[in-house]
Every structure is written in structure tokens, then in C-alpha cells.
């Protein structure tokens, strides 16, 4: 179905299947896909983007739900934050549901989608640290019915890109059947973009703790050494409990890995032995961010283990 948006004289195509959407993009290379439009239309309205046409993804029912496949959930890219925030989804992937519930005010959560959050790849995208910790992959639809699968982290790191006329169809997420958490700091009351966020997932089958920190760098950061260290402390066959000091040490470890000390200046004196844990050279704002990340990681781990 093709209409013309009166205001901008753009061509708007509304396909009903992924392959139709890919074909529409291939036929109109200057067009861009639009899902909820919460990011895209903001860019259009502010004059940053003038797409020659739009391919709306809102009528593609196959990407608006989820299905089970080999111990994984195949999440449609068109799932809205509001849908992912509901209890049935939270029972499946609790950390992603928590991130969805935190993703902006209700009108944004009603329209904004998982696929849009990933493709926009903003540092403050709330789903992104969760997907990084879950080691999720993307199933991308291309011309001629082609499908390819890449790790979400490769797209976020710029190691792989969407090729012309490709569309993100699904996100494959392992079902871990274990606690997982997402926490976000906004620096204000009520909905807001993250100043820092942390996702922690337990993977008992692999005896792993996986953590990703969002909003402090262009893409979510995985503190791999801290993950391995804390996983080694957990009695996986027992109660999986950890003393509060271990959770606190994990928080510090994560924060130091994600917000490292600046390199020492030439000619600066060696730090004194037994000095404080916080290096004096860190500017106050960075120190505050590091403390925020430490608190988020400590609490996220504590809640996952509780
Ligand atoms: C006021 C406000 C507050 C917000 N607060 C938050 C927040 O707290 N946390 C947060 O994470 N985000 C927030 N956002 C950002 C936004 O709502 C999310 O990133 C949302 O998930 C984007 O989804 P969308 O469907 O609206 O994407 P769209 O705007 O439709 O698309 C975004 C980009 O992705 C592309 N795209 C979309 N779907 C696909 C697909 N399936 N395949 C290929 N390309 C695709 C589009 O071409 C476009 O480039 C906020 C936005 C606003 C305006």
C-alpha cells in the first residue's frame, strides 16, 4: 500500500511482511524504514534528516510478537517497550522487561520498538546493555528472502552494519531460567535518559555472571575480568549467595573497568602507598559517574543473587 504524506510529499509505503519491506527499500534506495518513529521523527522534525521516502514497519505482524526456538526466544523487532514491559514477557526475560519499563514516558514506550532502539544505537538505549549481557544476536532480512545472523554487539561496535535494503527482523535471546536485573540512573526524578545503567544476568548452565554497563561509552561495556572473578566466588550448586562485601567489590571492579583512571601525566609524582582507592586525578564528574556505576553494578548483582 502506498500513500503520500501531504506535509513533506514523501512516499510512505506500508508493507505487511518483512520480505515486502525489504523489496520496498530495494525499489526505493533513498527511503528509510520507520517503526515507532520516536527516534526517526525527532530527527526529521528537527531538520537533521530528510528521507525521500518512508517504509513503515508497523503493519508487519510477524515482527510484533515472539516465538520459542531451541532454548531461545525469537523476539520480533517490532515489539514495543510497552509490550515487553508486561508480566508475561517479564517472566521470560526479566532484565529486558525492566529496561523496557524504564525506556522513557508512556507515550514513547507505547510506540518505540526493540528494533528501533537497536538500530538507533544511542549510548542511552536501555535495551542495549541487557542485549549485550545476554549475548543476543540479530536476524537480519535482506533481498531475495536472505537471512543472516550477527551478534548485537557487532552492530553496536560498528564491526558490522546493515547493508542497503536490509531490515532487522528478530532478536534471538537465550532463555536462561535464572535471575537477571537491569538498573538505571537518570540524575532526575521520573522518566529520563540514563546517565549510567547496568544489566546483570546469571547463566547457571555456563556458570557465568554476565554484566554490561550502558550510557558511559558509545556502546555497552562488558567488564569481562570482573565477571569471571565474581562467577568464581559463587557456589553454583548451593544457594548462590555472596556476602555484601563481595557484591561491593564487584561494583568497584566493574566501575574501574568501565571508567578507568586517566593515564598518569608526565612528571607527576608516584601515588603514595596505601592511598585512597579513588585516584585524585579523576575530575569530580567522572568520580561521581564511577561511583554511580559501582552502586548500580553492586545492587544489580545483589538483586540477581538475592
Ligand atoms: C522523549 C523521548 C524519550 C526517550 N527516552 C528513552 C529512554 O529513556 N530510553 C531509551 O532507550 N530510549 C528512549 N528514547 C528513544 C526511543 O524511544 C527508543 O530508541 C525507541 O526504542 C526507538 O524505537 P522506534 O520504533 O521509535 O524507532 P524509529 O524512530 O522508528 O527508528 C529509529 C531508527 O531505527 C531504524 N529502524 C527501526 N526499526 C528498524 C528495523 N526493524 N530494521 C532496521 N532499521 C530499523 C529507523 O530507520 C531509524 O533509523 C526516547 C525518545 C524520546 C523522543
Per-residue pLDDT tens for 80-122? 999 999 999 999 999 999 999 999 999 999 999 999 999 999 9
pLDDT at 253 over 60: yes
Distance 95 CA to ligand 1 centre (A): 19
Q: Out of 3.40.50.300, 3.40.630.10, 3.30.465.10, 3.90.1150.10, select the CATH number for domain 62-174.
A: 3.30.465.10
pLDDT at 270 over 80: no
pLDDT at 274 over 60: no
Whose alpha carbon is nearest atom 11 of ligand 1? 125
Q: Cβ distance 22 to 167 under 8 Å?
A: yes
Whether 2-56 and 62-174 share one fold: the answer is no
The percent of residues in the chain predicted with pLDDT above 70, rounded, is 91
CATH of the domain spanning 2-56: 3.30.43
Assigned architecture for domain 181-264+278-305: 2-Layer Sandwich (3.30)
pLDDT of residue 157: 96
Is any ligand 1 atom within 6 A of the Cβ of residue 3?
A: no
Substitution site in 112, 164, 171 for ligand 1 pocket (most atoms within 8 Å of beta carbon): 112
Substitution site in 80, 115, 128 for ligand 1 pocket (most atoms within 8 Å of beta carbon): 115
Is any ligand 1 atom within 6 A of the Cβ of residue 18?
A: no
Q: What is the pTM of this model?
A: 0.93
pLDDT at 179 over 70: yes
Q: Cβ distance 255 to 294 under 8 Å?
A: yes
The percent of residues in the chain predicted with pLDDT above 90, rounded, is 86
Cβ neighbors of 97 (< 8 A, separation 6 or more) are 84, 85, 86, 89, 90
pLDDT of residue 189: 76
Residue 49, C-alpha cell as written in the block? 534528516
What are the boundaries of each domain within the chain? 2-56, 62-174, 181-264+278-305
Q: Give the ligand 1 atom nearest the CA of 191.
A: 8
Distance 58 CA to ligand 1 centre (A): 13
Residue 302, C-alpha cell as written in the block? 545483589
Is any ligand 1 atom within 6 A of the Cβ of residue 64?
A: no
Distance 43 CA to ligand 1 centre (A): 11
The Cα–Cα gap between 54 and 21 comes to 10
Q: Give the ligand 1 atom nearest the CA of 102.
A: 8
Q: What is the mean pLDDT of residues 278-292?
A: 83
For the chain, what's the residue count? 306
Q: Would strands 66-69 and 53-56 be described as parallel, antiparallel, or unpaired?
A: unpaired
Q: What is the mean pLDDT of residues 209-238?
A: 97
Q: Which strands, in side-by-side order, build the sheet including 196-203? A: 180-185, 196-203, 208-214
Distance 294 CA to ligand 1 centre (A): 28
Is any ligand 1 atom within 6 A of the Cβ of residue 130?
A: no
pLDDT of residue 262: 77
The predicted-structure confidence for 27-81, as pLDDT tens digits, reads as follows 999 999 999 999 999 999 999 999 999 999 999 999 999 999 999 999 999 999 9
Comparing 24 with 264, the larger pLDDT belongs to 24
Q: What is the mean pLDDT of residues 5-34?
A: 87
Amino acid at each position: 500500500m502506498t500513500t503520500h504524506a501531504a506535509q513533506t510529499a514523501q512516499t510512505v509505503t506500508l508493507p505487511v511482511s518483512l520480505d515486502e519491506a525489504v523489496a520496498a527499500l530495494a525499489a526505493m534506495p533513498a527511503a528509510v524504514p520507520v517503526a515507532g518513529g520516536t527516534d526517526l521523527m525527532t530527527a526529521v522534525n528537527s531538520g537533521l534528516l530528510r528521507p525521500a521516502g518512508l517504509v513503515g514497519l508497523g503493519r508487519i505482524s510477524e515482527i510484533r510478537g515472539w516465538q520459542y526456538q531451541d532454548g531461545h526466544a525469537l523476539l520480533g523487532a517490532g515489539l514495543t517497550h510497552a509490550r515487553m514491559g508486561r508480566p508475561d514477557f517479564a517472566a521470560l526475560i526479566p532484565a529486558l522487561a525492566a529496561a523496557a519499563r524504564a525506556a522513557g514516558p508512556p507515550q514513547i514506550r507505547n510506540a518505540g520498538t526493540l528494533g528501533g532502539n537497536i538500530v538507533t544505537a544511542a549510548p542511552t538505549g536501555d535495551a542495549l546493555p541487557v542485549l549485550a549481557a545476554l549475548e543476543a544476536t540479530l536476524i537480519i532480512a535482506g533481498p531475495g528472502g536472505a537471512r543472516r545472523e550477527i551478534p548485537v554487539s557487532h552492530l553496536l561496535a560498528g564491526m558490522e552494519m546493515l547493508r542497503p535494503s536490509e531490515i532487522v527482523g528478530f532478536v534471538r535471546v537465550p532463555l536462561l531460567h535464572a535471575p537477571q536485573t537491569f538498573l538505571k540512573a537518570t540524575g532526575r526524578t521520573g522518566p529520563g535518559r540514563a546517565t549510567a545503567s547496568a544489566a546483570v544476568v546469571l547463566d547457571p548452565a555456563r556458570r557465568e555472571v554476565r554484566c554490561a554497563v550502558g550510557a558511559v561509552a558509545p556502546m555497552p561495556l562488558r567488564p569481562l575480568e570482573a565477571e569471571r572473578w565474581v562467577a568464581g566466588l559463587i557456589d553454583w550448586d548451593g544457594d548462590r549467595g555472596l556476602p555484601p562485601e563481595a557484591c561491593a567489590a564487584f561494583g568497584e571492579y566493574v566501575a574501574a573497568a568501565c571508567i578507568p583512571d586517566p593515564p598518569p601525566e608526565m612528571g607527576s609524582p608516584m601515588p603514595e602507598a596505601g592511598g585512597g582507592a579513588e585516584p585524585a586525578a579523576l575530575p569530580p564528574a567522572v568520580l561521581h559517574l564511577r561511583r554511580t556505576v559501582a552502586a548500580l553494578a553492586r545492587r544489580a548483582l545483589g538483586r540477581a543473587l538475592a
